[in-house]
């Protein structure tokens, strides 16, 4: 009898375990608004999948990350992403890549976050000053100067940056733990939003003169990402 009870309990646990461990998938875009009528358009958390029988080599391939990018722009850097938009085969695999080129003497990948990914950065050329800021209330700055062959990790969602402190070009490659990590450049989001954030709000938040805020909002914020 005890054996029967044990088998019954084990069976119930086995049936219940998938529900106990079930959870929503991590978001793969900024939001996904639920709809009742599919005629309004259907979007999924990620992308629809092709029939596996129709997959081909080019679905898993990208070429050109060896080519230096033009860094003649206001921030002196260019990011070349390789995510699911460039390699369809990355869909559902939770990984992507980027090449980052920096101009000499101050090329900057400005403070930004990846809302859906942790980043691991490998420097292959040049000297980069990198860092991230921890969350409230500590807001602790963690930084390091990196040289070729050095690796640094930026935890998911934290504000981080890379700055070329050398007098030559710098190149780094970043691995990210999402097929679509997303990028929020802080200055672009705060002062370059569309439509603009109410200047009075920014005056109070940043303790700045209103004319300074309006001047910042009038600038073109370079989208190096």
How does pLDDT run along the chain (225 residues), one tens digit per residue? 555 554 545 454 454 444 444 555 677 777 665 556 666 566 677 788 888 888 889 999 999 999 999 999 999 999 999 999 999 999 888 899 999 999 999 999 999 999 999 999 999 999 999 999 999 999 999 999 999 999 999 999 999 999 999 999 999 999 999 999 999 999 999 999 999 999 999 999 999 999 999 999 998 878 877
Question: Measuring CA to CA, which residue among 124, 133, 127, 79 is closest to residue 106?
Answer: 127
Looking at residue 13, its pLDDT comes to 45
β-partners of residue 121 are 152, 174
Distance between CA atoms of residues 54 and 36, nearest Å: 31
How far the first Cα of the chain sits from its last, in Å, is 66
Supply the angle between the helices 210-218 and 199-206 in degrees, to the nearest 10: 120
Looking at residue 8, its pLDDT comes to 47
Looking at residue 27, its pLDDT comes to 73
Looking at residue 220, its pLDDT comes to 83
Looking at residue 4, its pLDDT comes to 56
Looking at residue 45, its pLDDT comes to 74
The H helix count followed by the E strand count for the chain is 4, 10
Q: Are 124 and 171 in contact (CB under 8 A)?
A: yes
Looking at residue 54, its pLDDT comes to 86
Q: What is the pTM of this model?
A: 0.84
For residue 181, give Cα distances in angstroms to 71, 115, 128, 214: 23, 7, 22, 31
């Amino acid at each position: 009898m005890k054996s029967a009870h044990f088998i019954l309990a084990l069976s119930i646990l086995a049936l219940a375990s998938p529900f106990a461990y079930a959870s929503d998938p991590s978001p793969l875009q900024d939001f996904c608004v639920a709809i009742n009528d599919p005629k309004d358009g259907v979007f999924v958390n990620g992308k629809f999948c092709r029939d596996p029988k129709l997959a081909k080599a080019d679905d898993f391939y990208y070429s050109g990350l060896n080519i230096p990018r033009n860094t003649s722009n206001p921030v002196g850097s260019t990011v070349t992403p390789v995510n699911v938009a460039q390699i369809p085969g990355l869909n559902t695999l939770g990984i992507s890549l980027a090449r980052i080129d920096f101009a000499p003497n101050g090329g900057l990948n400005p403070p930004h976050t990846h809302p859906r990914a942790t980043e691991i950065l490998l420097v292959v050329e040049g000297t980069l000053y990198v860092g991230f800021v921890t969350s409230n209330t500590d807001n602790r700055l963690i930084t390091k100067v990196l040289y070729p062959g050095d690796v640094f990790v930026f935890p998911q969602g934290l504000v981080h940056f890379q700055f070329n402190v050398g007098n030559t070009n710098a190149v780094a490659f970043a691995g990210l733990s999402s097929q679509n990590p997303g990028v929020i450049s802080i200055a672009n989001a705060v002062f370059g939003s569309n439509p603009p954030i109410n200047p009075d709000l920014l005056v109070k938040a940043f303790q700045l003169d209103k004319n300074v805020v309006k001047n910042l909002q009038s600038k073109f914020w370079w989208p190096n990402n």
